[in-house]
């Protein structure tokens, strides 16, 4: 399909922040750029929206082309449109974020990336474009949602213990939570169910295993 416009139009891209938790810290997924601008620099996966392509479809496509990661639930984060954010032309980007357990992903560099790697969010390399601002906005979003939603479940395997769930909430909120108060709060939400199994950890008392009642939905809680 051909288009001809009387006036200049900005280009549109998508950028994707993929978060996981490993070694008791929050990590994000980055690619080393193969092409200019910022060649060789670390950046979020992303790229230009095709003229006949939906924005959501572009985000999934670019994530796969650069990291070989697919079938993630992506949620729109924010639109970044500073006029000088890309040296090539006027570019507006729609940012997305995804949350995933570490063992579900085995990313590898695709055709548009030299390398792909996880970085702890408190030890990030110098990033291309304005991707440091995108990361900051994504961190603000998930920290806020950790106070009023079941977002933490997205980082966990299908079955987990309450201490494991509490640890995720502490990482997302960046604060220590009282064990008794946390258990009272989370069990009052009616979003968990016991599996009937336990997990043994050395000489410690076996811990009950739980699962989310609606694992594929981030529920809003009061």
Please say if the pLDDT value at position 211 is more than 60: yes
pLDDT, tens only, 116-130: 999 999 999 999 999
Residue 64 parent element (H or E)? helix 55-67
Mean pLDDT along residues 88-111? 91
> Are 138 and 164 part of one and the same domain?
no
The tokens for 35 are: 């092409």
Of residues 4 and 1, more confidence is placed in 4
pLDDT, mean over the chain: 93
What pLDDT is attached to residue 5? 73
> Are 140 and 178 part of one and the same domain?
no
Residue 166, phi-psi category: left (phi > 0), alpha (psi -120 to 50), beta (remainder): alpha
Q: How far is Cα 105 from Cα 14, in angstroms, rounded to an integer?
A: 21
Beta-bridge mates of residue 95: 15, 78
Residue 2 lies in a domain: no
Q: How far is Cα 219 from Cα 190, in angstroms, rounded to an integer?
A: 11
What pLDDT is attached to residue 1? 57
DSSP code at position 205: P
- Domain span at 96: 11-145
pTM of the predicted model as reported, rounded to 2 decimal places: 0.91
> Are 156 and 126 part of one and the same domain?
no
What pLDDT is attached to residue 222? 66
Mean pLDDT along residues 39-49? 97
Q: Residue 29: which pLDDT band, with cuts at 50, 70 and 90?
A: very high
The domain boundary, picked from 100, 127, 145, lies at 145
> Are 137 and 170 part of one and the same domain?
no
The domain that contains 25 carries what CATH number? 3.90.79.10
> Are 141 and 168 part of one and the same domain?
no
Q: How far is Cα 136 from Cα 130, in angstroms, rounded to an integer?
A: 10
Residue 133 lies in a domain: yes
> Are 115 and 34 part of one and the same domain?
yes
The domain that contains 191 carries what CATH number? 1.10.10.10
> Are 72 and 176 part of one and the same domain?
no
pLDDT, tens only, 151-176: 999 999 999 999 999 999 999 999 99
> Are 23 and 122 part of one and the same domain?
yes
Number of domains in the chain: 2
The domain boundary, picked from 125, 145, 165, lies at 145
Residue 185 lies in a domain: yes
> Are 137 and 156 part of one and the same domain?
no
The domain boundary, picked from 112, 145, 178, lies at 145
The label of the residue with tokens 């929206």 reads 49
CB atoms within 10 A of CB 24: 9
Residue 218 lies in a domain: no
What does each C-alpha distance from 140 to 36, 79, 146 come to in angstroms?
A: 30, 15, 10
Q: Residue 2: which pLDDT band, with cuts at 50, 70 and 90?
A: low
Q: Which residues are catalytic?
A: 115
Please say if the pLDDT value at position 3 is more than 90: no
Q: How far is Cα 46 from Cα 34, in angstroms, rounded to an integer?
A: 13
The tokens for 143 are: 């920290």
> Are 105 and 134 part of one and the same domain?
yes
What pLDDT is attached to residue 105? 82
pLDDT, tens only, 190-205: 899 999 999 987 777 8
Q: CB burial class (10 A; 0-12, 13-18, 19+) of residue 175? A: exposed
């Amino acid at each position: 399909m051909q288009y001809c416009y009387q006036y200049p139009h900005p280009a549109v891209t998508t950028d994707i922040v993929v978060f996981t938790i490993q070694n008791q810290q929050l990590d994000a997924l980055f690619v080393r750029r193969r092409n200019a601008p910022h060649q060789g620099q670390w950046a979020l996966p992303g790229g230009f929206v095709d003229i006949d392509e939906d924005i959501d479809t572009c985000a999934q496509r670019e994530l796969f082309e650069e990291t070989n990661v697919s079938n993630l639930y992506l949620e729109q984060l924010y639109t970044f449109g500073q006029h000088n954010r890309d040296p090539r032309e006027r570019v507006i980007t729609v940012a997305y974020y995804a949350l995933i357990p570490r063992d579900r992903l085995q990313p590898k560099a695709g055709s548009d990336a030299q390398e792909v790697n996880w970085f702890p969010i408190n030890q990030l390399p110098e990033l291309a474009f304005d991707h440091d601002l995108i990361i900051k906005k994504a961190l603000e979003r998930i920290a806020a949602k950790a106070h009023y939603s079941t977002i933490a479940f997205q980082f966990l395997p299908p079955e987990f213990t309450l201490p494991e769930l509490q640890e995720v909430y502490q990482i997302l909120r960046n604060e220590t939570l009282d064990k008794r108060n946390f258990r009272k709060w989370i069990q009052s939400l009616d979003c968990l169910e016991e599996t009937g199994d336990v997990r043994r950890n050395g000489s410690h008392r076996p811990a009950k295993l739980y699962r989310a009642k609606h694992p594929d939905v981030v529920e809003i809680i009061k």
